[in-house]
Structure 1
Amino acid sequence: MTRNEPRTSTGGAVDATEVLLPGRVAPEGLVVRHRRLDPPGPGQVTLRMEATGVSFAEQQMRRGKYFDQPSFPFVPGYDLVGTVTEVGPGADPAMKGRRYAALTKVGAWASHVLLPAADLVPVPEGTDPGTAEALVVNGVTAYRMLHQLARVRSGDTVLVHGANGGVGSLLVQLARHAGATVIGTASARNAEAVRSLGATPLDYREPDLPGRVRALAPDGVKAVFDHVGGPGLVDSFGLLARGGTLVSYGTASTRDVVGNAMLPVLLLFARLLRWNTLPNGRGAHFFNLWNGHRRRADFRRRFARDLGTVLDLHAEGVLDPPVAARVPLSEVASAMTLAESGTVVGKVLLVPDQP
């Protein structure tokens, strides 16, 4: 059921709509509620959401499996794009009416969000907000993993698992732009979508998937980007050429495993650490968007720089993030179910309800 767009109240307060995650629930257990959002305080702005994403992080959060999620209940939402409607004391008044992107980790599944003005990154005029949203976390993640961790260059061959996904599809495009040859795994139904991005598709259910990769890259691959984890990570590491790099950035294989949320992550870290001690010239890393910054100001500066680069690449026609669906915020259960189905190409977005 759709609801009317919240109206601004007097004094800069807003009647907002948000999605509450009350505990470990099925998608139907997500609660759509309304509340009064206070005016922005010093250094803050009110951002009216135009698009926010349904990512693997929220899929884990609803199961209590995301390694540093807050205690229930809370409002999920890792990132968003929107327009500033109110500016608090000390924030630049010129921000009002302009479109920005923000990385939040939680809290973005709402019609309006209070955020520090310093956390916002400008979105170029004319950029579709949904397209920009699909580049915020996914684009920066793909860009950093490819260029700053794996350092992929022209002539390299790389393997991208989940090449039809939000991050995977951008990894393929960035690698091809860098001059690399890309092998991409996906389901058979998504093979043509992967091929259209410029990668050679392989069915991830292939009984001898490592053998198929070796047939395409007999000397091994320069990099493997693996969001699956689990036993298949051993195969990913074994496919590396000497001097190659494994970049692990998720544990999708353990999403539905009942038990301690930290255990799969700790086992993963232990495995990567051991591999880095082997005398074979190969490296193994876990990518976390939030690590490597001692100061908040450093994180903001680097994130704004990298997101700006990614948005520029989109403007130049290099990156075209696939959007699987745009679902009204009040229909969040359907959006979550679709995102978890494994049948989509690209990112599922939540957008404002129409009046």
Structure 2
Amino acid sequence: MNAVERVEVVLPGRVEPEGLEIRYGQPVPVPGTGQVLIGMEATGVSFAEQQMRRGRYFDQPPFPFVPGYDLVGTVLAVGAGVGPDLLGKRVAAMTRTGGWASHVVVDADDAVGVPKGVSPAEAETAVVNGITAWQMLHRKARVRAGHTVLVHGANGGVGSILVQLALGAGAEVIGTASTRHHDALRALGVTPVDYRGADVPARVRELAPGGVDAVFDHVGGRSVTHSWRLLAPGGTVVSYGSAATRDDEGSGLWPVLRLLGRVWLWNWLPNGRHAYFFNVWAGRALSRNRFRARLRGDLTQVFAALQRGEIAARVAAELPLARASEAMRLAESGTVAGKVVLVP
């Protein structure tokens, strides 16, 4: 790769993974005031990009654009107003879009230092996935020792971090996954439930007759209603996606609006239970400084847990940026545990 040229992956429209375009020889962007230029070392394939290629992510930009929800890399240049001490430092950043490129400009205040001893791919698994898991567990559900929690998709990018953080907090964890992942979940201390071959609500009620203290649901649709009904008094359901509607036609906003409507209604019921629709960007428009401070503090906590070995990075596969189509197919296959990572 020529050091003075940028390589980027472009999502040109609603396409199959093979429709992603690789563009070489693009000019390297120059950081403006308060910005830094990052040489990407790892970026991930998340559920957001899977929805974006279908045109179903609720606030995605118009086509064409460069996807990429987060990245890890080294600061190559700084703009005016940014101290030179950031040069050469490895940092992580959430971008929402734009991360699938060899060189990316972000605001310096959005760059969070990556601790020594954590590789770029390892750190990448814990950026948006780690922030999502940490904030849902500690800021929304407030899980603590003695609680019993249910994690849907316990083998996935967010789910695999969620179960480890919940176990670290002293909770009992029930996790749904296909049977091929059950042995790995048991090894962690998770009680697995087959989401394909079992009546999940009935099985969870057998395991937790009094209900669970928290459910983390990325499925959406009917699953969220089942999750609500599985709660113990005072319990919390946190919905953070709509995987069940990923392949639906029509508006990508409607499933989100329905989830928000259910959450609003449930929170009005006088039964002491709580419901949230979680989005990691919530509150950014109201208070950018508070959002940044919270993100920096929470991601630093996640990286520290990763560095100490309290959570393990689950890298499903590392593929070069030029094989983004293959990476997307793999991430959507449902056959891998953890996160598919793209590298330069």
- State the 1:87 CA deviation: 1.8
Partner of 1:64: 55
| Of 2, 8, 19, the match for 2:9 | 19
Q: Distance in 2 between matches of 1:286 and 1:330?
A: 35
Which structure 2 residues correspond to residues 113-124 of structure 1 after superposition, within 5 A? 113-124=104-115
Residues 173 and 198, structure 1, Cα contact 8 Å, conserved in 2: no
TM-score, normalised on structure 2?
0.97
Which structure 2 residues correspond to residues 316-355 of structure 1 after superposition, within 5 A? 316-352=308-344
| Of 18, 33, 36, the match for 1:28 | 18
Which structure 2 residues correspond to residues 16-95 of structure 1 after superposition, within 5 A? 16-34=6-24, 35-95=26-86
> Structure 1: any 5+ residue segments left out of the alignment?
9-14
Partner of 1:11: none
Q: Which amino acid aligns with 1:71?
A: P
Q: Secondary structure at the match of 1:280?
A: coil
- State the 1:235 CA deviation: 1.0
Query: Which string of whole-angstrom CA distances, capped at 9 and with x for unpartnered residues, describes residues 239-267 of structure 1?
Result: 10010000000000000000111111111
Query: Which string of whole-angstrom CA distances, capped at 9 and with x for unpartnered residues, describes residues 62-107 of structure 1?
Result: 0010000001110000000000111222211121111000010000
- State the 1:295 CA deviation: 2.2
Partner of 2:257: 266
Q: Distance in 2 between matches of 1:263 and 1:79?
A: 25
Residues 328 and 350, structure 1, Cα contact 8 Å, conserved in 2: yes
TM-score, normalised on structure 1?
0.94
Matched, 1:245 2:236: yes
Q: Which amino acid aligns with 1:6?
A: N
Query: Which string of whole-angstrom CA distances, capped at 9 and with x for unpartnered residues, describes residues 241-300 of structure 1?
Result: 010000000000000000111111111111111111222211111001011242222211
For the aligned residues, what is the CA RMSD?
1.0
Residues 151 and 217, structure 2, Cα contact 8 Å, conserved in 1: yes
Matched, 1:301 2:293: yes
* Percent identity of equivalent pairs: 60
Query: Which string of whole-angstrom CA distances, capped at 9 and with x for unpartnered residues, describes residues 129-181 of structure 1?
Result: 11111111111110110111001111110000000001101110011111100
Query: Which string of whole-angstrom CA distances, capped at 9 and with x for unpartnered residues, describes residues 28-62 of structure 1?
Result: 00000021123222222210000001000000000
Partner of 1:6: 2
Partner of 1:12: none
| Of 192, 198, 213, the match for 2:183 | 192
Select between 111-120 and 331-340 the one with higher mean Cα deviation. Answer: 111-120
Q: Secondary structure at the match of 1:276?
A: helix
Q: Distance in 2 between matches of 1:249 and 1:167?
A: 10
Partner of 1:155: 146
> Structure 2: any 5+ residue segments left out of the alignment?
none
Write out the 4+ residue segments of structure 1 that deviate beyond 3 Å after TM superposition. none
Q: Secondary structure at the match of 1:179?
A: coil
Aligned residue-pair number:
342
- State the 1:23 CA deviation: 0.4
- State the 1:315 CA deviation: 1.6
Residues 166 and 321, structure 1, Cα contact 8 Å, conserved in 2: no
Q: Distance in 2 between matches of 1:149 and 1:115?
A: 28
- State the 1:317 CA deviation: 1.5
Q: Distance in 2 between matches of 1:44 and 1:154?
A: 41
Residues 117 and 307, structure 2, Cα contact 8 Å, conserved in 1: no
Q: Which amino acid aligns with 1:311?
A: F
Q: Distance in 2 between matches of 1:63 and 1:281?
A: 38
Q: Secondary structure at the match of 2:127?
A: helix
Q: Distance in 2 between matches of 1:212 and 1:42?
A: 55
| Of 202, 220, 242, the match for 2:193 | 202
Q: Distance in 1 between matches of 2:234 and 2:262?
A: 18
Q: Secondary structure at the match of 2:126?
A: helix
Q: Distance in 2 between matches of 1:125 and 1:209?
A: 41
Q: Distance in 2 between matches of 1:205 and 1:26?
A: 26
